[in-house]
Amino acid sequence: MTSQAKTQIEQAIEAQRNRQFYAAYPENPKAYAEDANAKGLESFQKYLNTDFTGIAENPHQTRVGEEVSPYMMVGLGVQYPFYEAEDLVTYARNAWPAWRNTGVEKRAEILVNSLNNIAERFFEIAYATMHTTGQSFVMSFQASGPHANDRAMEVLSLAYQELNRFEKSVEWVKPMGKFDLKINKTFQPIPRGISLVIGCSTFPTWNTVPGLYASLIAGNPVIVKPHPKSILPIAIVVEEIQKALLEAGLQANVVQMAPDTLANPITKKLAEHHDVKLIDYTGGSAFGDYIESLSGKITFTEKAGVNSVILDSVNDPQAVFNNIAFSACLYSGQMCTAPQNIFVPETGISTAEGHLGFDDVVAGIGNAIKGLVENPKMGPYTLGAIQNDLTVNRVDEAKKYTQVALDSIPVQHPDFPDARMKSPVVMVTEASNVEVWQHECFGPAVFVVKTKDSISSLQLAAKSASSLGAITCLCYTTSEAFRDEVAATMNEAFTPVSFNFTGAAFVNQHAAFSDFHVSGGNPSGNAGFTNPEYVNRRFVWVGNRFA
């Protein structure tokens, strides 16, 4: 391994060990070349209405592509090679032996090189993400660029540790009295087989690269099955991995793209194929449950969750309302970590400025959202655009069964007048109205749930996390005793809690090398970024003995 790659991995390992802030790739766009933004935009524009040719192509009959920009509301026109599931598996099977027999050090070097080359294309990936997901440009840059690369480096370096945990060759000596019994032993981490990584439409690289890099470093070939509406960002990533493989004298088919269409999906054909042994999945719970039910597969899922906010007592109510508003507005609530249900006692909450009744709390949250949305310098860029019409329809349907405290406010993006935009709807409901709030309403929707008291709020949040899943929980309290009770109760539901966040700390954000994303302990998913189990299940230690 080159000294540069070795240093990068060692720095990542140390960051994981101490859990302090560490960024392998800077998140500020200004940290990159002055002309990188313009070049990235130009590169993105060249893709429009053309065949994507960056990925190595095998024989195929047709091309597919149905991505639509949520900002321009027109098709991108990018076309990708389409392959049948059986062909993809065959190509992966043929490429596997050489990759499996490539040493861990060399595999790590190749993958680190690919990440460094991806970093040269962050702006290009940002525009591809923006115009497939609806994320703002800044979020697209950070989430699909440096943050995704950090998550990939995190999992790569963790797997590197685990793959080198044990000695590969030893002379084992057992004293037997008058003689010693000597046996030479070798130990090898054997990759499990073909890996399928199923991407989502909202975070096509951030959610995809952990499983992709975890399987690759373990020696498994990977088939990436992107969402049909969000292919281009991860296609650029796969292109750079293939380039790094080819430069090392290996086959590009170690990692393949499997684009399909909504009308002709191939996901189940791939998932059910006998030779596919590992499956990573991000998306809705129904399909995630199906993935988890497949026999003979090792699965890593991130599914739907219902995230809660518990409001008990606060010091600065306006700071709290502003924080909740930003978390609810960020990317129009289309983040798996976004808060949905805000539990507020019917008597209201105590603050350092005096008591606030329930209606005052609802008004405070609504006014904070309204103020952010109507701010021309913040609103459009915080909200971004809605990825698809189903999200809009889902929120509109929920309004029929609640008291709407704040309806969606018309917003027009200054650069894209046709953008599909929708600000959060604040809805009020009773705790007993479980059919309204006790399910995921993915998108710009906030339910303020009136409860008996703070203990009831906690019980409802914990029950929801245990039965429906939760990735995050946000709690505001000035009571140390209640804080400890919330932490213990929610942690028993395998849900992390963020306490009293104001200012620049937001519940939506999970930092690589420090925060575990999805605990794997409740129905929101069975795996998390990134703990040893996430990588260890992708290979098996096998020992041989020689007399």
Do residues 425 and 361 both lie within one domain? yes
Structural domain span for residue 106: 3-62+76-303+527-546
Give the pLDDT confidence of 55-100 residue by residue, as tens digits.
999 999 899 999 999 999 999 999 999 999 999 999 999 999 999 9
Do residues 298 and 409 both lie within one domain? no
| Number of domains the chain is built from | 2
386 assigned to some structural domain? yes
Do residues 533 and 479 both lie within one domain? no
DSSP state string for 181-249? EEEEEEEEEEE--EEEEE--SS-TTTTTHHHHHHHHHTT--EEEE-BTTB-HHHHHHHHHHHHHHHHTT
Cα–Cα distance, 55 to 45 (Å, whole number): 18
Coil, strand or helix at 445: strand
Neighbours of 531 (CB within 10 A): 15
* Per-residue confidence band for 1, with pLDDT thresholds at 50, 70 and 90: confident
Give the pLDDT confidence of 448-463 residue by residue, as tens digits.
999 999 999 999 999 9
Measure Cα distances from 135 to 20, 121, 323 in Å: 28, 18, 19
Q: What is the CATH number of the domain that holds 19?
A: 3.40.605.10
**Highest mean pLDDT range out of 235-239, 301-305, 392-396?**
235-239
Nearest to 510 by CA among 32, 132, 154: 154
Do residues 175 and 314 both lie within one domain? no
Do residues 232 and 372 both lie within one domain? no
Question: Is the distance from CB of 256 to CB of 150 less than 8 angstroms?
Answer: no
Whole-prediction pTM: 0.96
Do residues 332 and 264 both lie within one domain? no
514 assigned to some structural domain? no
Give the pLDDT confidence of 230-276 residue by residue, as tens digits.
999 999 999 999 999 999 999 999 999 999 999 999 999 999 999 99
What local confidence, expressed as pLDDT, does residue 182 receive?
A: 96
257 assigned to some structural domain? yes
Cα–Cα distance, 496 to 515 (Å, whole number): 10
Do residues 490 and 542 both lie within one domain? no
506 assigned to some structural domain? no
Give the pLDDT mean for 90-117: 98
Give the pLDDT mean for 426-444: 95
191 assigned to some structural domain? yes
Do residues 298 and 340 both lie within one domain? no
pLDDT over 90 at 142, yes or no: yes
* Per-residue confidence band for 143, with pLDDT thresholds at 50, 70 and 90: very high
pLDDT over 90 at 379, yes or no: yes
329 assigned to some structural domain? yes
Question: Is the distance from CB of 108 to CB of 7 less than 8 angstroms?
Answer: no
Give the pLDDT mean for 428-456: 96
Do residues 295 and 318 both lie within one domain? no
Q: What is the CATH number of the domain that holds 404?
A: 3.40.309.10
510 assigned to some structural domain? no
Do residues 176 and 54 both lie within one domain? yes
Answer left, alpha or beta for residue 354, where phi above 0 means left and psi between -120 and 50 means alpha: left
Cα–Cα distance, 87 to 194 (Å, whole number): 13
pLDDT over 90 at 148, yes or no: yes
What local confidence, expressed as pLDDT, does residue 498 receive?
A: 98
Do residues 358 and 463 both lie within one domain? yes
The letter for the amino acid at 58 is N
116 assigned to some structural domain? yes
Measure Cα distances from 41 to 130, 387, 520 in Å: 11, 20, 38
CA atoms within 13 A on the CB side of 370: 10
Per DSSP, 423 falls in state P
Spacing of C-alpha 335 from chain mean position: 9
R_g (Cα) of the chain, nearest Å: 24
Do residues 293 and 320 both lie within one domain? no
Cα–Cα distance, 466 to 457 (Å, whole number): 14
Give the pLDDT confidence of 329-374 residue by residue, as tens digits.
999 999 999 999 999 999 999 999 999 999 999 999 999 999 999 9
